[in-house]
Amino acid sequence: MLVLYPEPVDRAAFDEYYRAAHLPLCRSIPGISDIRFSLGLEGPYYGVFEASFESADAFRSAMASPEGRATAADVANYATGGATVIDYPVESA
């Protein structure tokens, strides 16, 4: 899963909430095997978040869980520019 965040209204407020409240919610989602993120980017996106799951079924189950739903609902609390969520299968080379 990839989440792209456009420029927020207030970078400091975004960062504070994201680190203190949203990331702990992300970590509570069952089945997440890896989390990576970067904030403060220049260009079309201010931030990016990546999460890995064992399979597409694991991803769907995780996002349908109470923790997944709570995490998705929380985005409106800090992402004043919205968020673009992309899920896709990954291949290793």
Domain-by-domain residue ranges, the chain? Answer: 53-87
Contacts of 66-72 spanning 24+ positions with Cβ under 8 A = 67/25, 67/28, 67/29, 67/30, 68/29, 68/30, 70/25, 70/28, 71/22, 71/25, 71/26, 71/28, 71/29
- What value does the mean pLDDT of the chain take? 95
pLDDT band at 78 (very low <50, low <70, confident <90, very high): very high
The pLDDT assigned to 50 comes to 96
- 28-39 residue pLDDT tens: 999 998 999 999
Mean pLDDT of 59-70: 96
